[in-house]
Amino acid sequence: MKKIQNALISVYHKDRLEPIIEELNHLGVTIYSTGGTQKFIEDIGVSVIPVEDLTSYPSILGGRVKTLHPNVFGGILARRHESGDLEQLKQYKIPELDIIIVDLYPFEDSVASGADEQYIIEKIDIGGISLIRAAAKNYKDTLIVPSTDDYQETLHFLKSQKGATTIEQRKAYASKAFNISSHYDTAIFNYFNDGLTPVLKQSIQEHKTLRYGENPHQEGIFFGKLDDIFEQLNGKELSYNNLLDVDAAVHLMAEFKETTFAVLKHNNACGLASREKLIDAWKDALAADPVSAFGGVLITNRKVDIETAEEIHKLFFEVIIAPAYDKAALELFKTKKNRVVLLQKEIEMPTKTVRTILNGVLEQDKDVKSDTISEMRDVCQVRASEEQKIDLAFASKLCKNTKSNTIVFAKNKQLISSGVGQTSRVDALKQAVVKAKAFGFDLNGAVMASDAFFPFPDCVELANNEGIKAVIQPGGSIKDQLSIDYCNEHKMAMVFTGTRHFKH
């Protein structure tokens, strides 16, 4: 145990600080402080020594330089077991500083507020970060308290241990301190870097421990602020697999502006439809694959009314996501206590994707490009009709958000079926045909979308045999002409987009 005799306190946030100051005063600790913190301490009637008395220098440059002085950092960094260090402290009349209570200017909040650059620059802490690092480095002798989150615990052991700290406590707080300082530096770097330097730096403090990972024998943690995206209105905590499906659902629904409902399972849509009325969108989305919909994740971009809710309520599902709910609809959903009901908020999503592989990490831009009618290039003698192009654009959005290799069939802005995650495009197409027939769909008049080009005409041939007469694909194969020739021979329309949409 090490007794605290001298303290340095210099904080931006004064919340919850007063009880600690009063306890340090009660313990007879000498307190040094600066600027606004010094005034705060004086105002509560506690004696405090200005840091200027220690350094013999005033705060200068508009407060940019206050504590950056050997008389401060010597007292923090001196190794109490080194006789040479102690002799120098005595020589220069530097007090041993045993506890440092300091926090940092709110740099991230300043950036988020949209403040101008000069204001943001002034919120880059220099003295505070230096004090934190110095005290954490010398944890064997000095306690660093780097955040208001630590005040309650600090107050507890100050009282229970009569102003003494253990090496274990000091080391634990040093770990917290380096976490705070590294997070702060990462935020500053990312502000300045703005993609100029190919370096991946992320620091996410907020986290939620999940029940388990992808499987029960795996641990799982979500890092991020889910509350910024959703308000959970009912149900159990989201699982790892729920979160994957919810992520896929949110990105898929972002593609659609008109009234749309989607059902997802294992990150892929098993049903989706756009209609004038929400209840019709729900019924037609469910019709594509009511078997897979069991236990799925549901999402819509409209307020859920009671009429639609009563139909949805007939199905067992894990999660529903919507921008709003009628009061009656919400009460109905809440009759199942484990059913997760999420209210989706407006938020700007990240523009990059990151995933771990091997002994490293892959980062890429998100695929935010959607294939529009204006970008479609007719490549066959038969041109796609306007109605077909509407369905082709619809099917392409689904295809983009489905695991590769994938084929999607759609008609009248309804997902008919899809072949998902197959090792060959032909197999994906065959799977889509089987699923369409299994649920009673007639593919005559439907359109087909592919996430990548056709190296051979086998896919358009199979599609034609099932009644498909319009196809959308990126094109780009050296053998594109083979598929074009087949379509011409069989009076099929095909459009190229020039954009591949692999999703692995």
Which residue numbers are catalytic?
137, 266
Beta strand 317-322 with 340-344 is parallel
Measured distance CA(240)–CA(243) in Å, rounded: 5
Residue 472's closest CA among 490, 455, 451, 488?
451
Site of tokens 């220069």 = 92
Are 24 and 4 within 8 A, CB to CB?
Answer: yes
Q: Which one-letter DSSP state was computed for residue 446?
A: -
Computed on alpha carbons and rounded to an integer, the radius of gyration of the chain in Å comes to: 31
Q: Is the dihedral of CA 324, 326, 327, 333 positive or negative?
A: negative
Measured distance CA(4)–CA(100) in Å, rounded: 10
Measured distance CA(364)–CA(53) in Å, rounded: 54
174: amino acid identity, one letter: A
Residue 160 structure tokens: 């229970």
436: amino acid identity, one letter: A
CA distances from 384 to 216, 398, 450, 493, 494 (A): 49, 19, 16, 5, 7
H or E segment and range at residue 438: helix 425-438
CA distances from 504 to 405, 423, 448, 483 (A): 8, 11, 20, 25
Q: Is the dihedral of CA 299, 301, 303, 306 positive or negative?
A: negative
Are 443 and 467 within 8 A, CB to CB?
Answer: yes
